[in-house]
Amino acid sequence: MTTEWLIVAPLKLRTALHVGGGAANAVVDASLRRDAAGRLIIPGSALVGPLRALATRLAPRLFAGSRVCKTITDESGSGSCACPVCQLFGEVKLESDVESAGRASALWCADAPVSGTTSLRDGVGIERSGRAAARQDALKYNVEVLRAGTQLELKLTLQSVGSVEDDQKNRQLLAVLLHEWQQGRGTLGGRVGRGLGAFTLDTPVWHERDLRDASQLMAFLRRSDDNLLAGAVVVPDEQATLVQALTQTTPQPAPTGSRLYCWEAYTLAQSWVTLDLRLQFEGPMLISDELSSRWSGFDHAPLGARPGGEALWILPGSGLRGVLRAQAERIARTLATRAAQDKADFLARCPAGDPTNIRDQDRPLATSDALLSAQERSRPARTTPARHDLADRLFGGVRLGSRLIVEDAPLVGMAQLKALDLLAIDRFTGGGRDSAKFDALVLWQPLFHVRMRLENPQPWELGWLMLTLRDLHAGFTTVGFGRSKGFGQAKIAQWKLQLAYLEQSDLDNLEIPLPAGHESRRDGAWQLLQADQDGVAPWLPLAQKWVDAFTQTVADFRRDATDVGVPLLQDDSYFGVVDAIYPRLVAIPFK
């Protein structure tokens, strides 16, 4: 090692962040990570880990002749992986008995100390049949989070590996990864699919330290422990230069094979869709937060309330994502119910289990994980997407991570607050029920900026999301507390959709024509496509094609008893229960 490159960049959280410390206590189920002195800290592994995960998906498409990492292909055997990711981040599977088989990481990441206060975030599962908070599995929990707006400093050290060509490849790959973070397409920590961990990285500044230079070497040796840049000199515009050089090359073709069975086709980067919405509530909206309630003195108060008059109101991604998933499942199961001849036929057709039923395969609408666990003596390392129902493929499950991210939504403009008194009615006397009076502090007609991102979308997945958002806009589903009281009704006031792809075959795989009046531009490794005007109109012809693809996918979906498909459901909450009370309506010819 004769040369080091040191990269420093400020990082600011757009949403709250949770990096777990693996400990629970009487106050919180999952606390933040702290050092031995009890100070908040984001470990370097929590920063470089997401970088590596992004590189694993992106690098094979950027470098000609590069192989896919063994962590995706699951290849066995000794020997070095020799992929660009392992060259930069080090081997994952080191062979201790073969000296040449392992490679240490060329990239080092410093821990990031954190200053500031923390908060608690509550979560609860939704029981699908009753559409209320799930109680049977005690799916109420809370986590400790860093607040949105917290600032960190990313400090990376990239060491020379001896080869000029390999050093250049490492620097280019790292620069492209940091560019993705600059554009806000990165996440940190846990529960990212539910809105946590979104951030924006400021422009990285590259420094170079040549240890063959006597003055730089002495400055390095005499430095204090916290002086990362001792002896280093700034390399002007290095970030932009490296990104520009790599993006001049043609991306490699996407892997062939079915995404249901081939991990390369499922995992490697191909495209993404970002949807920015303005969600306008028509009346009161409340997602209750226990801490806010205690501080404000109300029985129910919105998430983000702070003493001292701060108005940091947010619509948590978990609250919106849970509603969207529950409604998406209802849409899919309704289509399957309509096509099913009887209960046995429905159990073979059902495209969406209940994610709150994670423990017992015999319960109605058991999850794919519960059914798979019942078939296995020991859980395998992973199962192919073909073994998961449609809901798990889009929204994720225990064994299959989600590709859909719904960020915490900040309030747009000022908030109007209203205090409401609520009283339950005694069904016997017709008057107010004793001890059943409570009050609530609600947001009145708030406007939130919602951002959702779906990686490697398929047409049927986009169609499913379009139908779910349409139902939200039409008032068929609500967000937050008090659905039966008229709370949570919302309209989509503004809409902006961006679609990005690496090369033409990735766009062709989506099987869509380009929208009228579109414009395309380069954004790092991606070709970014967006309509020249905001709104739904440019995308309506495409949306109908996506919806048609979804309805066909649901019609074709089948479960089976083999060891390669989605396991059969054992029970359902509709057939034999609801249909006995409300029989299916059949048209009777009139003479």
Confidence of residue 451 (pLDDT cuts 50, 70, 90): very high
Same domain membership, residue 198 and residue 319: no
As a whole number, mean pLDDT of residues 413-425 equals 83
Task: Provide the pLDDT for residue 448.
Answer: 94
Confidence of residue 45 (pLDDT cuts 50, 70, 90): very high
DSSP state of 252: P
pLDDT in tens, 371-390: 888 877 555 557 889 999 99
pLDDT at 310 over 60: no
Number of domains present in the structure of the chain: 2
Task: Provide the pLDDT for residue 539.
Answer: 66
pLDDT at 535 over 80: no
Chosen domain end from 214, 247, 280:
247
Domain range for residue 443? Answer: 269-581
pLDDT at 300 over 50: yes
Same domain membership, residue 406 and residue 329: yes
pLDDT in tens, 12-36: 999 989 988 766 666 777 888 888 8
Task: Provide the pLDDT for residue 96.
Answer: 46
Residue at 94: amino acid letter:
L
Alpha carbon separation from 49 to 117, 318, 377, 386 (Å, rounded): 25, 23, 31, 27
Same domain membership, residue 300 and residue 220: no
Other C-beta atoms closer than 10 Å to the C-beta of 78 total: 10
Chosen domain end from 217, 247, 277:
247
Name which residue leads in pLDDT, 211 or 141: 211
Inside any domain, residue 564: yes
Give the contacts of 31 (CB within 8 A, at least 6 positions apart): 20, 21, 23, 24, 25, 144
Its pTM stands at: 0.87
Inside any domain, residue 587: no
Cα within 13 Å of Cα(384), Cβ side: 16
pLDDT in tens, 202-257: 999 999 988 887 887 787 787 777 777 787 889 999 999 999 988 888 888 888 88
pLDDT in tens, 102-140: 678 889 999 998 887 788 887 766 665 555 555 555 566
Task: Provide the pLDDT for residue 571.
Answer: 86
Task: Provide the pLDDT for residue 309.
Answer: 43
pLDDT at 193 over 90: no
Same domain membership, residue 438 and residue 343: yes
Same domain membership, residue 231 and residue 137: yes
Give the contacts of 587 (CB within 8 A, at least 6 positions apart): none
Same domain membership, residue 306 and residue 230: no
What is the secondary structure of 287-351 as a DSSP string? -B-HHHHHHH-SSB-BTTB-TTS-B--EE-HHHHHHHHHHHHHHHHHHHHHHH-SSHHHHHHH--
The two structure tokens encoding residue 222: 């005499």
pLDDT at 489 over 60: yes
Task: Provide the pLDDT for residue 434.
Answer: 67
Task: Provide the pLDDT for residue 97.
Answer: 41
Same domain membership, residue 291 and residue 202: no
As a whole number, mean pLDDT of residues 62-80 equals 75
- Pick the most confident of 272-276, 433-437, 521-525: 272-276
Name which residue leads in pLDDT, 55 or 579: 55
Mean pLDDT (the chain, rounded): 83
Same domain membership, residue 111 and residue 49: yes
Task: Provide the pLDDT for residue 585.
Answer: 62
Give the Cα separation of 448 and 457 in Å (integer): 25
Same domain membership, residue 273 and residue 125: no
- Pick the most confident of 70-74, 88-92, 412-416, 469-473: 469-473
Task: Provide the pLDDT for residue 307.
Answer: 39
Same domain membership, residue 222 and residue 285: no
Name which residue leads in pLDDT, 304 or 30: 30
Q: What is the CA radius of gyration of the chain?
A: 26
